[in-house]
Amino acid sequence: MNANHTYYRASSAGAAFPALHGRKDVDVAIIGGGFAGLATALGLQERGAQSIALLEAEQIGFGASGRNGGFVFGGFSLGNASLIQQLGRPRARALYQLTLDAVELIRQRVARYQIACDVNPSGVLLANWFDDDRVLQQVRTFMLQEFEVDWAPISREQSRDWLRSERYFGALHERNAFHFHPLKYAQGLAAVLASAGVAVHENSRVLTIESTSGGHVVKTASGELHCRELVLCCGGYIGRLYPALARAVLPIATYVMTTEPLGERLASAMQTQAAVYDTRFAFDYYRPLADSRLLWGGRISIRDRAPADVARLLYGDLLKVYPQLAGVKVEHAWSGLMSYARHEMPQIGQLPNGIRYAMGFGGHGVGPTTLAGEVLAQAIHEGRPMPDGLSRYGLAPTFGPLGLLAAQLTYWYYELRDWWRQ
């Protein structure tokens, strides 16, 4: 097993970008080289903005954007039923539609900029873990009635043709979704930005931020940016950079592994190219890769585990579903930090000193980070207000270590409930 790289990093070279040196004056500075920061920069550039700089402390896609499962589909971390309960049907529908628009925008950008990121258009399956047909029937009816979205039903028989496991009892197929190599996509966006004149800087960790009457000054070890607009998109890796924002998110770890190339053996488990997750709260998520590997993810923890521990845990989860894959080698395993807000919705807004931010995307961020980039680009370049409903979800405090403990206990409770229900 390769303990030094994620599979994504090992399978994508990507261009390198220089660190920031000396002073640079720009209209907009963006801190964070993940999906939210990249989408904000590209949203601005596509609207004609000319003076933009993006700073990344490590490499493009270093955080959750370059480590995730690669699922591209609608919705937020907050459940759809809770979204309607909190906002009412019209506003909830409108926000959900924005995530579907973001999925389509990602698809369009991949095509427009010819980003080679292993797009697989086979959709996403929600597989039923429980021997109860009502589970999927209720989900499908709810999505049709409340959001006018039709997830195609897959019978028990057909689902077991596609997924050769006795663990599943039917599925729903989200056909408009897709999956891809997230790091290649992030690196592709950075290359597009650089070619359009955006100043992209890696290895440029921000040390201090000073707000002045005319804007902001951002300092790194070897340079400084002077900007009129400043956007922070740091997620689970914000650390101590900006305490007012860091106090509003919990850095939660999740785990991912990839097997060795399976060749024809993959077909003994999967007869579909769709990505899969299941109906438990503590669900597995997995997908076939272009080189016949199986990528497998799951679990939520406050512990950022070593690769060997991640591999051991997830290999056990894999065999619970596909015992016929016993003996396959795990070649890459990793963990990564996601930023969760207490209300489970993205936090997109502006502080009193003018600093804008986008964070708190949780485990459902590929679409919503793109949505955030559009919202911020529209606000900065066009002066447009926040979409109705999003402003409700502000910077609720997470209470540091106590919040992390509460999150872990909540996960264990729902994991136990899944077990009891089964």
* 52: Cβ contacts below 8 Å, ≥ 6 apart: 26, 27, 28, 29, 30, 41, 44, 45, 193, 198, 199
CATH class for domain 13-68+183-249+342-398? alpha beta
- Report in angstroms the alpha-carbon separations of 301 from 20, 404, 411: 34, 9, 8
Write out pLDDT tens, residues 342-400.
899 999 999 999 999 999 998 888 999 999 999 999 999 999 999 989 989 988 766 56
Would you state the pLDDT for residue 346?
95
Residue 63 binned pLDDT confidence (cut-offs 50, 70, 90): very high
Q: Break the chain into its structural domains and give their ranges.
A: 13-68+183-249+342-398
- How are the residues of the chain apportioned to helix, strand and coil, as percentages rounded to the nearest 5? 40, 25, 35
More confident residue, 254 or 156: 156
Averaged pLDDT score across all residues of the chain: 92
Q: CB count, 10 Å around CB of 332?
A: 25
Q: Which amino acid is at 5?
A: H
Angle at Cα 406 formed by Cα 401 and Cα 127, nearest 5°? 125
Residue 323 has pLDDT above 90, yes or no: yes
- Among all chains, which residue has been given the structure tokens 């029937």? 137
Residue 107 has pLDDT above 80, yes or no: yes
Residue by residue, DSSP assigns 379-390 as HHHH-PPPPTTG
pLDDT digits (tens, 9 = 90+) for 205-252: 999 999 988 899 999 999 999 999 999 999 888 888 888 898 888 888
- Pairing between strand 171-174 and 152-154? antiparallel
Structural contact between residues 107 and 117, judged by C-beta atoms closer than 8 angstroms = no
Condensed to tens digits (0 to 9), the pLDDT of residues 5-40 reads 799 999 998 899 999 999 999 999 999 999 999 999
Task: Give the position of tokens 């190599």.
Answer: 181
Residue type, 388: D
| Residue 299 pLDDT | 81
d(CA 316, CA 284): 11
- Please tell me what DSSP assigns to residue 125: E
Which H or E run contains 337? strand 330-340
Per-residue pLDDT at 3 exceeds 50: no
Distances (CA, A) of 285 to 68, 119, 133, 214: 10, 17, 21, 47
Any idea what the Cα angle at residue 107 is, between residues 90 and 125, rounded to 5°? 70
CB atoms within 10 A of CB 197: 10
CA 62 to chain centre: 12
Among residues 124, 99, 109, the alpha carbon closest in space to that of 375 is found at 99
294 backbone dihedrals φ, ψ, rounded to 5° = -115, 120
